[in-house]
Chain A
Amino acid sequence: MSQPIRLRVNGQTHQAELEPEMPLLYFLRNDLALNGPKYGCGVRQCGACMVLLDGKAQPSCVIPVDQAQQHDIETLESFGTPDDPHPLQRAFVEEQAAQCGYCLNGAIVCAQALLAVNPAPSDTEIREALERVLCRCGTHSRIVRAVARAARTQNAD
C-alpha cells in the first residue's frame, strides 16, 4: 500500500504517496522527470542509475524510496546545466568522452563522489572508483581522462 514519503532531492523536499518499496530510480525519473539516472539492469550491476546519497555514489535502482527518506539525494541534474556545466561535465565535453552516453550519468556521479574525498586521484584510483559503472561502447579511456582533467581543473581553481 502506498504511504506518504518525503524525499529531499537536489535541495528540494518532495512529498508523495508512494509504494514504500518502490526503487528510488522510478520516482526520480517518472515523478520528477529527471533524466540523469537511467535504468540499466535493476540489480546494481551496471551503475547507469547512480545518484549521490549523502555524497556517496549509490545505485538508485535498488534503494526503496522508504529508505531514501533519511538521505540527501543529488542527481546529475544538480551538478550543472548546459549553460553552466559543472567542471566534471565540462571536462567530459572537452574530452568528447562519450559515444552513446547512456553510462555517463554513472561515470560522472561516481567521479564526483571520488573527487570529494580524493581531489587528485591517480588513473588507477579513477578506474577503481568507476568499477561499478559499465560502458559498452568502449569509451573508458576518454572517461578516465575526463575525470583526471576535471580534477586538475578543480585543483587549479
Chain B
Amino acid sequence: MPTPTRDTSPSAPDRRDFLRQSGYLAIGFSLLGLESCSGEAGATGSDGTPKQATACPPDTDRIDAWLRVHEDTTVTVLTGKIAIGQGILVALRQIAAEELDLPLDKVKIIMADTGHTPNERYTAGSASIEGSGTAIRRAAATARQQLLERAADELGAAVVDLTVTDGVIGATARGERTYGELVAGKQLTAQVFRDAPRKDPYDYRIVGQPEPRPEILGMVTGRPVDDRDGYVQDMRPPGMVHARVVRPPVYRATLQSFPADGVEALPGVRQIVRDGNFLAVVATDEYAAIRAWQMLRRQSNWEVDQSLPDPANLFNDMPGRVTNSEVVTSAPNAHSDWESATARLEALYTRPYQMHGSIGPSCALAEYRDGQLTVWTHSQGVYPLRDSLAAMLDLSADNIRVIGVRGSGCYGHNGADDVAADAARLALAEPDRPVRVQWMREDEHGWEPYGSAMRLQLRAALDGDNRIVSWVTNLWTDVHSHRPGGDAAELLTAQYLEGGPEAPTEGYLGGGYRNSQPLYRIPNLHIEAHRIEGPLRVSALRSLGAYGNIFAIESFLDELADRAGEDPVAFRLKHLDDERARAVIEEVRQQVEWPVYDAEDGRGWGFAFARYKNEAAYFAVAAEVAYDAETESLRVLRLVGAIDAGQTINPDGLRNQTEGGMIQSASWTTLEEVKWNTNGIVSLDWETYPILRFPEVPEVSVSILDRPGAPPLGAGEAAQGPTAAAIANAVFRATGTRVRDLPITAAKVVG
C-alpha cells in the first residue's frame, strides 16, 4: 500500500518547491496585503496599514469594494467576475489603469472570492464588461478624483493645475506626490461618485490596445506566473485527499447496495460516504480514488425509478407537453395578413440537446476546519454558490468562503457548481483536510446540464414588393437556466442526499426566447414561447436560446429571399434600418466579395446576421462549405465575421472570443447532439459526442468595427447563432438541400 507521501528520491520535490508549485492558493492570501472580509478590526496588514473590518460582500457603493491603492503606487482591482477562458481580467485591468493613469503592470486584479470581492452574481450573459467594467471605471474615476483632491490639499495647489503621470500627481513648482504617498494610512473608502470626471474615450491610451494576457505564459509553461493564476485542477495543498462520486445510471434511481467491504479493503481508501442516494469514496491518492470509484460503479445496485423517454419522439411530443406559454410579442394583424398575403412560407427547425463539453472535467476543493468551510471552485457565481452550499449543508453563509479559481473552459452553467457541492459535502466527512473532487469524463458528459433542445415553427408572408408583412413564431423549449441561485435544490449533489430537495422544474424561460424577435422591420410580428419539461437536465449554454432562434430566423430569411428571388444579403438590408447592423453586414459582404455563387464542386457560401439579445454586440458572418458527394463528407472551410461591440476594450481579446465562438458554433452545428436511450445518456465520451478536431476546423477571420465613445457591448456569445445559420445557408447553396434540423451532418445532405 503506498504511503501518502512517496519517496521519489533522489529528486523528491522539497516542501518549499511543493508549496511554490502546488500550494499557491492555500497560502497566497497573505501576499496580497488585503484584509479579507472576515478580517479583525485593529489588525495590521502586511504592508503595515491598519486592517479594517469589512462587511462581506463589500459595499459596492464604496471605492474600496472595487479597488485598493497601495503605498507602492500599485493598485489591486477586485472583481466579482471570474476568468473562464474569456480573457476578462486583462480587459478589466485596462479599464482601471486607463482611468487611474497608471501603467498596466501596476494594476493587479483579484477575481471572484466571497472573502474579498463584490457580489456580482454570475459571470454570464456577455455582461462582464458592461457590468463589472462600468463599476470599476466609475470607482477608478472617483479614486483618481479623490487622489487629486488630496494632492491639491497637500501641495497647496488647485486641482485644475495638477497633472497625473503614471501615478504621480504633480503641480508646477510645488512638488509632487505619488498615489502611494497619498494613501499612506488612509485607504480610499469614499462613496463611488457616479459622475466623477472620466477620461474622454478618444484620449484612451490603454483601453483599445491589444494588451496580452499575462497568464498565458503560465499556461504554456505549466507554471503559473502569479499566485492565483493556476487551475483549480492543479491545486495540491498539503494534506489533500481525493474523492470521486458515483452517479446513478439515470437521473432518478435509488441506491440498493454497494460493495462496502471490497472497496474499503482497497489500498488507499479512507472511507465511503453514503448519504441517501449520494455515494462517494475518499482516498489518500487520486488513483486509489479512481479504482474505488470503478469498483463502486461496477458493483453497486440501483433501482431505476424512472427511465428516460424514447428520444425518437422528442420534437413531435413537444406541442403536447406544454406546461405554460408566454406571448413574447403580439401583433393582432399577423394572422389576417397571413391569409391575404401574396407569398407565404412556413418552416420547422429543430435544435437538439447540446453540451458544454469542457476539456477538463469539473473540479473543486473544499476544506472544513474549525467550523469554517472553504471552497475553491471555477463556478460562475461564488456568492450564489456560497448561499446554495449553506442551504444544502445547513451551515451559516458567514462560515463559508467560496474562492473563484481558473478552470477549464466554461461556456455556461456546467458541472462547476455541482462538483463544488460534491467537495463541500465530502469535506464535512473529512474535516481538517482539503478534499479534491474531479469529475470523470463520463460524469461530465453524462451529468452536466445541457443546452435545451428546441422546436421552432416559423411562418411569414410577403407583400407584392417582396417585403415581409407578417411573421409568426411558435417555439417550444425547456428553460435555459437552472443556476443554483442560493437554493440547495439546483445542486445535483443536494438532490441525491437523504431528505434532499427534488430537482426544481421552474426556471428561466426568457432564455428560451432570447433573440426570437428578428431585428428586421416587420409590421406584424407575433411570437409565442411554449415551455416544455424535457427529459434531460438543462441549464445555460453559451447564448441560451439565441443559438436556436437565430439559426431558425436566419435560415428562414434565406428561404424568404429565395422565395422573393432576391439576393439574401440585399434582402436582409432591405429590412434593416439600424446603421450599425447594416455596417457589419456590409463589412462581411466586402470581405468575401459577395455575391459568391460558387456552387461548383459542391462548394457554396452562406450569410447570416444578428445582434445578440437585440441589445449587445452586432455580428455578421459568411460561411463557405464543401460537400464531397463521393466521400459523403461535409466541411466548413471558412468563416468570415465582423463584429461591433461598441468601444473595444481589448481588440485581441474580442477577436479571440469571436473566433472561438465561430469555431465552437461550427462544431455544434455540424456534429453535436446529445444521444440517449431509455437506459440513460449514451454520449459519454468524445467518440459518442464528437466535436471538431484540428484538421476539420474552418479558417476564421474577424473584422472589428470599433466605436470609440459608444458603450462597450457584451460580445462573448454574439457568434453562436449567426454562424449556425450561415453554415445552413451555405450548405443549401452548395447542395440544394435545406437542412432544418441541427446538427447539419453529411448524412442529412445525402438525404
Instruction: Give the interface of A toward B (CB within 8 A).
Output: 2, 12-19, 22-23, 26, 29-36, 38-43, 45-46, 48, 75-77, 79-82, 85, 88-89, 92-93, 96-105, 108, 124, 126-128, 130-131, 133-144
Contacts and interface: CB of A to CB of B under 8 A. Distances in A.
Given A19-B267, A40-B359, A100-B408, 6 more contacts: A18-B2, A30-B285, A41-B441, A48-B360, A101-B216, A135-B359
* A39, A76, A80: residue with the most chain B Cβ atoms closer than 10 Å: A39
Given A33-B18, A96-B212, A136-B691, A77 B223 contact: yes
B269 to A, nearest CB: 13
* B9, B225, B231, B686: residue with the most chain A Cβ atoms closer than 10 Å: B686
24 contacts: A2-B1, A13-B11, A14-B9, A15-B9, A16-B7, A30-B286, A33-B13, A33-B21, A33-B236, A38-B234, A41-B685, A45-B687, A75-B222, A93-B217, A96-B656, A105-B222, A134-B693, A135-B359, A135-B694, A136-B411, A137-B85, A137-B409, A138-B661, A138-B662
Interface in B685-718: 685-687, 691-695, 697, 699-700
A127 B694 contact: yes
Given A12-B11, A33-B21, A141 B663 contact: yes
A95 B86 CA distance: 16
A128 B700 CA distance: 18
A136 B219 contact: no
A43 B294 CA distance: 14
B87 interface: yes
B660 A139 contact: yes
Contacts of A93: 212, 216-217, 220
B619 to A, nearest CB: 14
B565 interface: no
Contacts of A136: 357-359, 408-409, 411, 664, 691
A89 to B, nearest CB: 4
A113 to B, nearest CB: 14
A35 to B, nearest CB: 4
A99 B409 contact: yes
A142 B13 contact: no
Interface in B659-695: 659-664, 667, 685-687, 691-695
A41 B361 CA distance: 8
B216 A98 contact: yes
Given A14-B8, A41-B686, A77 B222 contact: yes
Nearest to A89: B220
Given A16-B7, A39-B233, A34 B217 contact: no
Contacts of B223: 35, 77, 81-82
Interface string B532-557: 00000000000000000000000000
Contacts, number: 211
B694 A82 contact: no
Given A38-B360, A99-B660, A141-B699, A81 B8 contact: no
Nearest to B687: A45
Interface residues of B, number: 75
B186 interface: no
Nearest to A39: B438
Nearest to B219: A101
B410 to A, nearest CB: 7
Contact of B410 (A34, A42, A100): A100
Contact of A102 (B10, B359, B693): B359
Contacts of A26: 285-287
Nearest to A12: B11
B273 interface: no
B300 interface: no
A102 B659 CA distance: 17
Contact of A16 (B6, B213, B216, B357): B6
A81 B217 CA distance: 9
B359 A77 contact: no
Interface in B640-666: 652, 656-657, 659-664
B660 A137 contact: yes
Contacts of A29: 234, 286
Nearest to A144: B694
* B222, B407, B409, B438: residue with the most chain A Cβ atoms closer than 10 Å: B222
B230 interface: yes
Contacts of A138: 659-664, 667, 697, 700
Nearest to B3: A17
A103 B659 contact: no
Nearest first, the 10 closest Cβ-Cβ pairs linking A and B are: A100-B85, A138-B663, A138-B660, A101-B219, A100-B409, A36-B222, A45-B686, A102-B408, A130-B694, A35-B234
A2 B13 contact: no
Interface in B245-281: 267
A92 B687 CA distance: 28
A107 to B, nearest CB: 9
A144 B631 CA distance: 26
B28 interface: no
B84 interface: yes
A14 B216 CA distance: 30
* B213, B236, B691, B697: residue with the most chain A Cβ atoms closer than 10 Å: B697
B576 interface: no
Given A40-B359, A93-B212, A130-B694, A85 B438 contact: no
B231 A102 contact: yes
Contacts of A42: 440-441
Contacts of B691: 134, 136
A40 B691 CA distance: 14
Contacts of B231: 35, 38, 102
B48 interface: no
Contacts of B3: 17
Contact of A128 (B1, B657, B695): B695
Nearest to A40: B359
A31 B12 CA distance: 8
Contact of B686 (A18, A79, A98, A134): A134
* A18, A85, A93: residue with the most chain B Cβ atoms closer than 10 Å: A93
A76 B234 CA distance: 14
B504 to A, nearest CB: 28
A33 B82 CA distance: 25
B407 A104 contact: no
A32 B8 contact: yes
